[in-house]
C-alpha cells in the first residue's frame, strides 16, 4: 500500500481515498512485459519453423540420399563372378574355358585418407603383391568420383599372396579379395585370330559403357569373337548385400542376387580343319624360309567359315592373364605383325585369282564367246610399252586361258587388243563389285579390310593423270591398283562355285543361353552376281582344267575332283610376289571354297598349291569318321 494521496493545495480535498495494491501495480506494468514476451515468442516460433522445415527437407526431399550414404557405410553390394559363355567349334569341341581366380581389389573409401597411411598401404602392396606404388596412385585417381566402387589391383593371386592378405588384414585397409575367373584358350596360337581375347576394361571403355553395365574390375572382349559377341558372352552380374565393419571387411550376408552366366557360342569353324590348315601353312612357310600367309575355307552353300588362319599368330592367353608391358611391346614391334589378321584385313593385289571375275564379265557382256581363241606369244606391245605374259601359250580359248593363266588373253578382254574392244575399267569394276570386291563382306569379327577397285576419276584425283590402256591391262590380271583381302577372294570363288550367290561369311552359327534356348544364325545372301548360270559353268570348267591340264596338276591325285586358279602378284619395286591359290571342292557338289596366300615369294612360283593339296588330302581322305553339326 502506498497510503493516501496528498491533497491538492489549490483545490478542495476529495473525501474519496485511492488505495493501490501490489496486484494492481502489476496490472499496470503488464502491457510492457507482454510486448517483450510476444517478441520472444515470435522469434522462438520462427526458429522452430526453420528447424522443422529443415527436418522436412532432409527427411522428405533428401532422405533417400542420406539414407543411402548412411547405409553404404555399413552395407555394401558386393559383385559376384559372372561366368563368361563358352565357345565351341561346330562339333561341340570347346575352344576356351573359364578358370577360377582370386583378385585383389581396392575400395578407396575404406583406404587411408592421410598421406602417411597411404604410403604404408603402398609399401605393403609392393612388398606382398609386387604392385608398383604408381599403380596404386592411378587407382586412387580413378576412384575420385566413385570411391565405393572396387578397382582391380591384381588378377590371379597366388595362394601365398591370398594367405598373406588374410593373415595381415590390418596392413591392407581397403583391400578386398574378389572371386572371378579368367579365360584359358586351348590351342591358342591356332585360334587367336578367330577367338580374339578378353582383357581388363580400359578407362575409355569403362567411361563409354552404360551406368552399372561394367565395373572397373571387369574384363571385356578385345578382339575376334570375344569382342563382336561381348554382349552375348558376358552374362548378367549378380550381387551380395553384405554388412561390413568400419574397415570395410564383410561381416554378414544380408541377401543375394545370383549371377546369370553368359551364352555359349557354337562356331561354324571346324577345329580339326583349322589345326590342319594352320600346320600345313606353317610347315610350308618354315620350309621356304618365309613367315607370312593365310588360309580361309568357306562353305559355298551358306557362307559358313570352316577355317580362318593368319600366320604369324600370337598366344591370346598372354592377354587373358594380363600381358606384361615388355611382352606387349615385343608383339607390336615385331615386323611380321603377329597381331594383324591378314586373312580378313590384309589388302593385296589378287593377281590371277581375279581372272575368273574378268572372264565372267567378258562373257556376260558378249565381248567374246567361250570358244574365242587368242594367241599369246609371250606378251603384247602397245606403242613403246610391252606387257609381258609369264610364258608364250599359243592359241587358247577361254577355258584354256583360265587353265594356263594366259595374261595376254585377259589383257585383250580387259583392255582390248586385236579387234576385241575390251571391258574397260568401269565395267571391270562393276562386275568385280558384284562378286564382293571393293567392300567389306560383313564377317562377324572386327577389323575387316575394304580392298580397293580403282577407276579413271580416282587416278586423276590421286595422281593427276588420265587412265591409260595399260592400267586396264594391269587391272585385268589383278595387278596395278587393284587390291583385295583373302576373304574377298575366297567369297568370290564361293559365289562362282555355288552358281552366283554371294553370302555374308559368318563364324558363329548358334547361340545357346544359360536356360538352354538356342538361336540359329541363318545364312544371309548378300546378292546374286546377276550372271547367266551357264557362263559361271564355263568359268568353273576352266578352273577345273587348271587342275587337269594347267598350272595346278599336282592336285589331280586328290580323292575328289578340285577346281582352282593359281595366282602370283608382284608388289613393290622388286621381283617378290605373293602366291595365291583359289579353289573349291568337290567340283560337282562344292563343300569347301578355299584361298591360300603365301606372302613374299622370291619368284613366280605356285607355292600356295602344295598347302592346298595337304589340306584337301586330309579333309577328303583322312577323316576317320564323318561328323554332323550339333
The strand pairing partners of 382, in sequence order, are 385
- What torsion, rounded to 10 degrees, do the Cα atoms 370, 372, 376, 382 define? -110
How far apart are the two ends of the chain, measured CA to CA in Å?
A: 118
493 backbone dihedrals φ, ψ, rounded to 5°: -65, -40
Q: Any idea what the Cα angle at residue 578 is, between residues 577 and 583, rounded to 5°?
A: 135
**C-beta neighbour count of 602 within 10 angstroms:** 13
Fill in the DSSP letter of residue 171. G
Long-range contacts formed by 252-259: CB under 8 A, 24+ apart: 254/75, 256/80, 257/80, 258/80, 259/80, 259/81, 259/82, 259/83, 259/235
575 backbone dihedrals φ, ψ, rounded to 5°: -100, 5
Asked if 247 and 286 count as a contact pair (C-beta separation under 8 A), the reply is no
591: left (phi over 0), alpha (psi -120 to 50) or beta: alpha
Asked if 217 and 104 count as a contact pair (C-beta separation under 8 A), the reply is no
Q: In what order do the strands lie in the sheet with 87-88?
A: 87-88, 264-267, 508-512, 518-520
The CA distance from 440 to 453, in Å, is 12
3-class state of residue 334 by DSSP: coil
Residue identified by cell 559363355 is: 85
Give the up-direction half-sphere exposure of residue 427: CA atoms within 13 A in the CB hemisphere: 18
Closest CA to 312 of 328, 297, 334: 334
Secondary structure string (H, E, C) spanning 413-430: HHHCECCECCCHHHHHHH
Chain-centroid distance, C-alpha 456? 36
Residue identified by cell 577372294 is: 489
**C-beta neighbour count of 69 within 10 angstroms:** 10
* Beta pairing, strands 87-88 & 264-267: parallel
The CA distance from 280 to 309, in Å, is 11
Fill in the DSSP letter of residue 187. T
The CA distance from 219 to 9, in Å, is 112
Catalytic (active site) residue 352: yes
Fill in the DSSP letter of residue 622. I
Asked if 280 and 615 count as a contact pair (C-beta separation under 8 A), the reply is yes
Q: Of the listed 180, 192, 228, 352, which one is catalytic?
A: 352
The CA distance from 348 to 536, in Å, is 25
Catalytic residues: 352
Amino acid at each position: 500500500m502506498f497510503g493516501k494521496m496528498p491533497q491538492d493545495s489549490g483545490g478542495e480535498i476529495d473525501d474519496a481515498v485511492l488505495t493501490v495494491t501490489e496486484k494492481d501495480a502489476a496490472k499496470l506494468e503488464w502491457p510492457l512485459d507482454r510486448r517483450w514476451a510476444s517478441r520472444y515468442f515470435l522469434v522462438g516460433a520462427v526458429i522452430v519453423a526453420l528447424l522443422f522445415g529443415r527436418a522436412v527437407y532432409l527427411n522428405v526431399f533428401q532422405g533417400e540420399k542420406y539414407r543411402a550414404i548412411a547405409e553404404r557405410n555399413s552395407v555394401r553390394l558386393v559383385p559376384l563372378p559372372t561366368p563368361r559363355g563358352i565357345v565351341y567349334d561346330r562339333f561341340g569341341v570347346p575352344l576356351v574355358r573359364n578358370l577360377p581366380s582370386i583378385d585383389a581389389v581396392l575400395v578407396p573409401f575404406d583406404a587411408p585418407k592421410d598421406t602417411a597411411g597411404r604410403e604404408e598401404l603402398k609399401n605393403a602392396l609392393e612388398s606382398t603383391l609386387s604392385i608398383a606404388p604408381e599403380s596404386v596412385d592411378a587407382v586412387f585417381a580413378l576412384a575420385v568420383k566413385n570411391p565405393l566402387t572396387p578397382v582391380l589391383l591384381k588378377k590371379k593371386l597366388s595362394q601365398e599372396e591370398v594367405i598373406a592378405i588374410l593373415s595381415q588384414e590390418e596392413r591392407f585397409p581397403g583391400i578386398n579379395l574378389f572371386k572371378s575367373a579368367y579365360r584359358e584358350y586351348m590351342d591358342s596360337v591356332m585360334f587367336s585370330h578367330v577367338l580374339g581375347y578378353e582383357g581388363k576394361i580400359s578407362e575409355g571403355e569403362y567411361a563409354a559403357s552404360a551406368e552399372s553395365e561394367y565395373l572397373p574390375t571387369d574384363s571385356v572382349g578385345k578382339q575376334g569373337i570375344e569382342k563382336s559377341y561381348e554382349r552375348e558372352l558376358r552374362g548378367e552380374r549378380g550381387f551380395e548385400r553384405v554388412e561390413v565393419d568400419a574397415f570395410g571387411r564383410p561381416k554378414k550376408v544380408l541377401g543375394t542376387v545370383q549371377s546369370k552366366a553368359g551364352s555359349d557360342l557354337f562356331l561354324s569353324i571346324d577345329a580339326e580343319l583349322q589345326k590342319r590348315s594352320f600346320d600345313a601353312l606353317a610347315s610350308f612357310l618354315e620350309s621356304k624360309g618365309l613367315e607370312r600367309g593365310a588360309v580361309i575355307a568357306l562353305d559355298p552353300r551358306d557362307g559358313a567359315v570352316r577355317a580362318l588362319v593368319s600366320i604369324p599368330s600370337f598366344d591370346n592367353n598372354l592377354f587373358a592373364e594380363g600381358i606384361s608391358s615388355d611382352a606387349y611391346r615385343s608383339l607390336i614391334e615385331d615386323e611380321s605383325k603377329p597381331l594383324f589378321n591378314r586373312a580378313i584385313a590384309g589388302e593385296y593385289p589378287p593377281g590371277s585369282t581375279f581372272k575368273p571375275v574378268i572372264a565372267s564379265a567378258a562373257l556376260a557382256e558378249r565381248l567374246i564367246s567361250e570358244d574365242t581363241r587368242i594367241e599369246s606369244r609371250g606378251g603384247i606391245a602397245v606403242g613403246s610399252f610391252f606387257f609381258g605374259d609369264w610364258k608364250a601359250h599359243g592359241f587358247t580359248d577361254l577355258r584354256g586361258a583360265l587353265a594356263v593363266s594366259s595374261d595376254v588373253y585377259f589383257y585383250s578382254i580387259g583392255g582390248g587388243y586385236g579387234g576385241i574392244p575390251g571391258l574397260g575399267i568401269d565395267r571391270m569394276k562393276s562386275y568385280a563389285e558384284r562378286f564382293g570386291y571393293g567392300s567389306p563382306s560383313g564377317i562377324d569379327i572386327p577389323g575387316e579390310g575394304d580392298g580397293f577397285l580403282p577407276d579413271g576419276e580416282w587416278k586423276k584425283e590421286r595422281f593427276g593423270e588420265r587412265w591409260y590402256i595399260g592400267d586396264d591391262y594391269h587391272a585385268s590380271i589383278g595387278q596395278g591398283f587393284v587390291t583385295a583381302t583373302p576373304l574377298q577372294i575366297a567369297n568370290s570363288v564361293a559365289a562362282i562355285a555355288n552358281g552366283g550367290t554371294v553370302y555374308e561369311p559368318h563364324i558363329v552359327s548358334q547361340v545357346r543361353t544359360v536356360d538352354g534356348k538356342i538361336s540359329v544364325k541363318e545364312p544371309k545372301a548378300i546378292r546374286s552376281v546377276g550372271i547367266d548360270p551357264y557362263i559361271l559353268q564355263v568359268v568353273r570348267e576352266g578352273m577345273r582344267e587348271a587342275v587337269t591340264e594347267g598350272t595346278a596338276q599336282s592336285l589331280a591325285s586328290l580323292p575328289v575332283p578340285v577346281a582352282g586358279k593359281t595366282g602370283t602378284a608382284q608388289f613393290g619395286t622388286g621381283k617378290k610376289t605373293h602366291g595365291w591359290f583359289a579353289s573349291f571342292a568337290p567340283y560337282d557338289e562344292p563343300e569347301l571354297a578355299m584361298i591360300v596366300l603365301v606372302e613374299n615369294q622370291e619368284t613366280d612360283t605356285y607355292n600356295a598349291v602344295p598347302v592346298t593339296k595337304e589340306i584337301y588330302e586330309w579333309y577328303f581322305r583322312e577323316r576317320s569318321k564323318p561328323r554332323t553339326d550339333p
